[in-house]
Amino acid sequence: MSDYHLEADYLIVGTGAVGMAFADVLLEETDATIVMVDRHEKPGGHWNLAYPFVTLHQPSAFYGVSSCELSKGRKDQVGLNKGLNDLATGAEISAYFDDVMRHRFLPSGRVKYFPMCEYRGEGRFQSCLTGSNYQVSAGKTVDATYLKTTVPANHTPSFSVAPGVRFMPLNDLPKVSSPPAGYVVIGGGKTGIDACLWLLENGVDPDSIQWIVSRDAWLLDRRNTQPTEEFFEYTIGAMANQFEAIARSESINDLFERLEAAGVLLRIDPTVRPSMFHGATVSPRELEELRRIRQVVRKGRVTALEPDRILLEQGNLATSPDHLHIDCSASAITNLDTKPIFTGDLITPQTVRSYQPVFSAAFVAHIEAAYEKESDKNRLCGVVPLPNHDTDWIRMMIGLMMNQYQWSQHKDIRAWLVNNRLDGMSRMIRDVDPEDQPKQAILKRMRDNAMPAMAKLQAYAAQIKARNAEPAHEAEGA
């Protein structure tokens, strides 16, 4: 085994979407040299292991690296996303990142890429193929693996699976060669939604599907994320509706009821109050399809799969060796803790805008390139915490609104947002015709309700903090 020494301005650990988006902005806005290290054969991170029928759940226009378009610039004409802007498939995304690396990054002469390598820390990594060891002397290290994504292919279930149980990760679902007695989908998150929709789209009777949902989730309407002007009433209108709902709400429960009434949040079963929010997005057609599944099991998490029964936290469910059990229990994001993005020679990209880790990585890279003082960088890149519980939506919105306010105070940042394709919304707002009264009315509602909304959110956050600080016996008697 050989030892090699490398020098670069930046060492980026991870060539998933976050690492690629960060490197792209560095290449565009600085003359920095970069070493990129990843354990996968190709760039793209978890997309290398994604299930065959996965797609983005927000428009392709908001994904990828800033300098290279991913979207085909068209709307889907068929399927459950019909009428909305295109959603890239997993295969398209994987090919896209490979193309960016081969045709943009490497030809620049400023990027050295080391796939199939395991990072050992402190600038050291080792090739999985040759065993060669490398030491990088870098000005700064970028940990682009912090927002680690778990996918079904490499997920170890938290429950036991007995011999004789027909069980598979979601990745293997297209390999089914004979119809089972029924399908059991384990997991109520985005992966579980994708499994159910794929089965329904391929003609499976909804009554043949049992869907184990440990927690119901609030969902987002994909119509409210569209990047084109024809959807202004939905996209920017949803923001105005959101601020208005917050400002007029009288309690946390009332807040969520108003958000649902305004079309900001959706739920699959209108009779069940969601307790989870992960930012999953569905189209109206997808929501209709999911509501066709009537066998939804709400007895907590699965603890064991046995040939004739499924053990759950709150009871059992009958099954058989002829039923197919599909594991969709992997959580997309496993690290919900936050830390300062800029700490000395370490940069840890995290979300600075909700639902958009890729935009966030590009923005963090821009701030790194444009500002000197660490305190200024962290002030402009406040971490917007990833949500888990329903009320996490509140602290997420506080972080988002605080960042948007900070950014609005800087002319250069406003210009960068307008010109960056991963943003989209800033340009849509900027381009509104002053004489277009309906659109101007929407913008006025946003402005008028922004400060009252922030005040309400901060009050609710204080309530939640106080409630969580109560001793257990007091909370039980409340």
Query: Which pLDDT score, from 0 to 100, does residue 2 have?
Result: 60
**Architecture (CATH level 2) of domain 150-216+284-332:** 3-Layer(bba) Sandwich (3.50)
Tokens of 333: 């994001």
Measured N-to-C along each axis, helices 17-29 and 357-370 cross at an angle, to the nearest 10 degrees, of 30
In this chain, the answer to whether the domains covering 3-149+333-380 and 150-216+284-332 adopt an identical fold is: yes
Would you place residue 147 in the very low, low, confident or very high pLDDT band (cuts 50, 70, 90)?
confident
Q: Which residue ranges make up each domain of the chain?
A: 3-149+333-380, 150-216+284-332
Q: Which residues of 295-317 are buried (b: 16+ CB within 10 A; e: fewer)?
A: bbbbbebbeebbeeebbbeeeeb
Query: Which pLDDT score, from 0 to 100, does residue 345 have?
Result: 97
**Beta-carbon neighbour count of residue 131 at 10 Å?**
9
Task: Report the mean per-residue pLDDT for the chain.
Answer: 94
Amino acid identity for residue 315 in this structure: G
For the domain 3-149+333-380, what is the CATH code? 3.50.50.60
Amino acid identity for residue 169 in this structure: P
Summarize pLDDT for 321-357 with one digit per residue, the tens: 999 999 999 876 555 678 999 999 999 999 999 989 9
Would you place residue 424 in the very low, low, confident or very high pLDDT band (cuts 50, 70, 90)?
confident
Summarize pLDDT for 237-296 with one digit per residue, the tens: 999 999 999 999 999 999 999 999 999 999 999 999 999 999 999 999 999 999 999 999
Question: Taking a C-beta distance cutoff of 8 angstroms, is the pair 126, 38 a contact?
Answer: no
Is this structure's pTM higher than 0.85?
yes
Query: Which pLDDT score, from 0 to 100, does residue 119 have?
Result: 97
Tell me the average pLDDT across 11-22: 97
Query: Which pLDDT score, from 0 to 100, does residue 338 have?
Result: 83
